[in-house]
Structure 1
Amino acid sequence: MLHILYHVLVPGLIAWLFYRSNWKRVWLLMAAGILADLDHLFAVPMYDPGRCSIGFHFLHTYPAIALYALLLFIPKVRVLAIGLLVHMGLDYIDCLV
Structure 2
Amino acid sequence: MLRPFIHYGIHFGLPLLVALFFFKKEWKKAFVIMVLGLLIDLDHLLATPIFSNNRCSINFHPLHTYYAIVVYILLLIPNRTRLIGIGLVIHIIADYTDCWLMGF
**Structure with the larger helix share:** 1
**Cα offset, 1:71, TM superposition:** 1.0
Whichever residue aligns with residue 88 of structure 1, its letter is I
- Alignment match of 2:66 (pick from 59, 62, 68): 62
**Cα offset, 1:7, TM superposition:** 1.2
Q: Which runs of 5 or more structure 1 residues have no equivalent in the other structure?
A: none
Aligned to 2:82: 78
Matches of 2:76 and 2:14, distance apart in 1: 18
Matches of 1:67 and 1:44, distance apart in 2: 26
Whichever residue aligns with residue 86 of structure 1, its letter is I
Q: Give the length in aligned residue pairs.
A: 97
Aligned to 1:94: 98
1:4 aligns with 2:8: yes
Percent identity of equivalent pairs: 44
Q: Which runs of 5 or more structure 2 residues have no equivalent in the other structure?
A: none
- Alignment match of 2:18 (pick from 2, 14, 18): 14
CA offsets 1:2-57 (integer angstroms, 9 cap, x no match): 33353122211111111111110000000000001000011000001111000000
Q: Is the contact between residue 8 and residue 94 of structure 2 (CA under 8 Å) also seen in structure 1? A: no
> Does the residue aligned with 1:20 lie in a helix, a strand or coil?
coil
Aligned to 1:28: 32
**Runs of 4+ in structure 1 over 3 Å off:** none
TM-score calculated relative to the size of structure 2: 0.88
1:51 aligns with 2:55: yes
Let me know the Cα RMSD of the aligned residues: 1.1
